[in-house]
Structure 1
Amino acid sequence: MASVNQTVVSTSEQAVVLASCALSLVGSSLIMLTYVLWSDLRTTPRQLLVCLSLSDWLSATSYAYGVWRIFETDSVDCVVQGAISTFANTSSFFWTVAIAVYLYVSIVKSNQRLADSLVLFFHCASWGIPLAITVAALCLNKIGFDGSEVSVGWCWVRIQAPDYIVWILLTGKVWEFLAYLILPLLYVLIKRHIHRAHAALSEYRPILASSSPSHALSAMADRKLTLIPVIFIVLRIWSTVRFLLLLADSPARKNPVLVTLHGIGNTFQGAANCIMFVLFTRPIRMRLATALCCGCCSKHQSSAAGSRDTNNAVMEGSRRAAPAEPGPTAEP
């Protein structure tokens, strides 16, 4: 099966997935940029979101190269691309779960100290475990051309490997399945807790409404972070469907619509997070609009000032070049 099966990626599918990669690169970069620019946004949940965005940025970059190349055999760049995407994609799973765990501990358990103490563990697990898995797969020559059976043009686990399915599980699917189980549970508990808290504090809403803008912005960002599991599941489900169809040896896994949805789902998370936590967050959206307007106004003013300086210089040069008018003639 592994040596003969291959899913052909059409030009239209390639273009759609490349566009998705580009949007994800822009979105992930924008999330990281807003974190750097504005210090009041540097909360711990936002820090975790930046780590997730970095993983998504790496994934989108490696996927874009793979989709652009459409590998047809093992090569050095295929292995490098497959290794980067394996590391980044697995890291994205870990960071998504880490964010949910952090929110659960800080919001539901109301233990901010414990939540903050977990951040170092999140870094060790979310970067270290994916790195160890990727290095092991590279050392055992498991990364390479996979015939787009569970990808969309990019390289992942070598389709020629006899234990191909086992390594698909180890380098991604096991962690993805665990995320499917853990995230909805934590998500429901967090949302239920927030709903109960709102109901219990309804009489204090006029007081809460007068809180500082910075505090309100942080609270809004923390609550929006609970939507990350939903985004994750909606986008990732298509790759899971194709994997299950592969296990059943069903030709439906080659369906162009399913392949396209798989390509978009694996590459669009950075853009989806940006839409939710930047573009759909009004204070941040207004800051970006103000920054862009100020930048445009500054360029316009500089251009206008430069034009005035040029005009003044031309007029001054004209006055100097003009012949002097004769003065009154002296009487003899």
Structure 2
Amino acid sequence: MVLLDMEHYTTMQALNINASTFSVLPDYTLALTATSCCMSIFGAIFIIVTYCLLPGIRNFPRKLLLYLTLADILTAFGNLMGTIRYLILKDGEKIANNSGTIFYYASINEVCVIQSFITTFSNMASFFWTVVIAVYMFTAVVHPSQVFKGVKAECVYHLLSWGIPGAITITALALNVLGEENSIGTGSWCWIRSDLEPPVMTSIWMVLAGKGWEIMCYLTTMSLYCLLKLILWRRRMSYFSSLNNELREEDNNFMWVWFVLYLLRIWGTVRFFLNFSAISNNSEHIGKAQFVLLNMQGVGDSGQAFWNFVIFCLFDKSVRKGIAGRCRTRYESVPLISPVTESILDKEIGSHSVLEG
């Protein structure tokens, strides 16, 4: 853990605020997290825009990806909100002796709870939609059927992927467990309060409100996509479209979703287990590793929408050709000379001709 400096600690005592609530992260950690959030917001908007503009890519897996993107953009927005809050909190230390400071910190705490509500819900929803996509891709290849892509199936997907995270998050809010987490399992954003009593309740709620579903997502998606790869290999096929004509060749990119999820999220999972292990408090080397992992988590937990943009937009030739085609059409449809300018030029040319004659 990054410890508070003595001046900061004294200030918190003077204000009767729990000093463990506020830990100090370096500016470059906040900058990395904020940059990753902004890149994800851009990537998510691009995925949504291409889905709206390019009818040729609108199959059922792409619709599921759209729902996943909505969850991921909420996560990126929430983490960015938490990082901005953290920056304001650090600036607020400079006015700690002012009489109005207590009210200032109270407003910051409210922002912390709101942000925690957003990201707790969106992270769980992201895990659920990732699993839904993996399950659908598996069934579409192994047992093609309208049962898994009809209106009823989509309603079930929405009920599970939004409903379960929503119920857990609302319950956590009602029980007052959302709030300042002191970077135990996150970066510069809030999650589950680190001062719950008894202390084991913090661990239980972190598993229930995120980590448990995250590990479930790891295991499920890895298993299903590895089985899909094995099926393609045994049938001597290269693309899912060879087994289901409703899929596109580019839908093979979904095979990378679980791997990218691992690369982005594993840092936070390792930190989670280290923080609640006995050795983490007694090893200087683990403490340094924790700080490196914290920076990696700040980038990874906020970056899923951006890397989905890379996979499903930059690496999708249909999207690349579609966007290039629309840009080319728009460029060709814009006249180099407007009609008004052209008429003025015609008149000037005519007057010059009369004068010369």
TM-score (norm 2): 0.77
How far has the Cα of 1:312 moved from its partner? 5.1
Q: Deviations over 1:21-71 (max 9, x none)?
A: 111111111111121122232211111111101100111111111112217
Q: Map of 1:13-162 to 2, 5 A cutoff?
A: 13-70=29-86, 75-108=109-142, 110-117=143-150, 118-162=153-197
Q: Deviations over 1:90-114 (max 9, x none)?
A: 0000001111111111112x23223
Query: Aligned match of 2:271 in 242, 248, 265?
Result: 242
Q: Deviations over 1:120-157 (max 9, x none)?
A: 22111000000001100111111111112211111111
AA matched with 2:220: I
Q: Percent identity?
A: 32
SS in 2 for 1:305: coil
Work out whether residues 48 and 95 of structure 1, in 8 Å CA contact, stay in contact via their aligned partners in 2. yes
Work out whether residues 24 and 267 of structure 1, in 8 Å CA contact, stay in contact via their aligned partners in 2. yes
User: Corresponding residue for 2:303?
Assistant: 268
CA distance in 1, matches of 2:301, 2:21: 22
Structure having the higher Rg: 1
How far has the Cα of 1:297 moved from its partner? 4.6
TM-align CA RMSD: 3.0
User: Corresponding residue for 2:255?
Assistant: 226
How far has the Cα of 1:11 moved from its partner? 1.1
CA distance in 1, matches of 2:187, 2:155: 34
User: Corresponding residue for 2:227?
Assistant: 189
AA matched with 2:115: Q
How far has the Cα of 1:200 moved from its partner? 10
How far has the Cα of 1:115 moved from its partner? 2.0
Work out whether residues 7 and 148 of structure 1, in 8 Å CA contact, stay in contact via their aligned partners in 2. yes
Work out whether residues 6 and 149 of structure 1, in 8 Å CA contact, stay in contact via their aligned partners in 2. no
User: Corresponding residue for 2:329?
Assistant: 294
TM-score (norm 1): 0.83
Which moves more between the two structures, 8-17 or 76-85? 8-17
Work out whether residues 70 and 153 of structure 1, in 8 Å CA contact, stay in contact via their aligned partners in 2. yes
Number of residues paired by the alignment? 307
Work out whether residues 113 and 178 of structure 2, in 8 Å CA contact, stay in contact via their aligned partners in 1. yes
Measured at CA, do residues 253 and 194 of structure 1 come closer, stay the same or move farther in structure 2, by a change above 3 Å?
farther
Measured at CA, do residues 13 and 124 of structure 1 come closer, stay the same or move farther in structure 2, by a change above 3 Å?
same
Structure 2 residue runs without a partner (length 5+): 2-17, 90-104
Work out whether residues 105 and 114 of structure 1, in 8 Å CA contact, stay in contact via their aligned partners in 2. no
CA distance in 1, matches of 2:123, 2:237: 39
Question: Is 2:213 the partner of 1:178?
Answer: no
AA matched with 1:237: I
Measured at CA, do residues 314 and 292 of structure 1 come closer, stay the same or move farther in structure 2, by a change above 3 Å?
closer
Q: Deviations over 1:294-323 (max 9, x none)?
A: 334555x3xx324x7347548858999x9x
SS in 2 for 1:75: helix
Structure 1 residue runs without a partner (length 5+): 209-214, 326-332
CA distance in 2, matches of 1:296, 1:7: 52
AA matched with 1:273: N
Measured at CA, do residues 312 and 122 of structure 1 come closer, stay the same or move farther in structure 2, by a change above 3 Å?
same
CA distance in 2, matches of 1:48, 1:70: 33
Q: Deviations over 1:282-305 (max 9, x none)?
A: 121121122233334555x3xx32
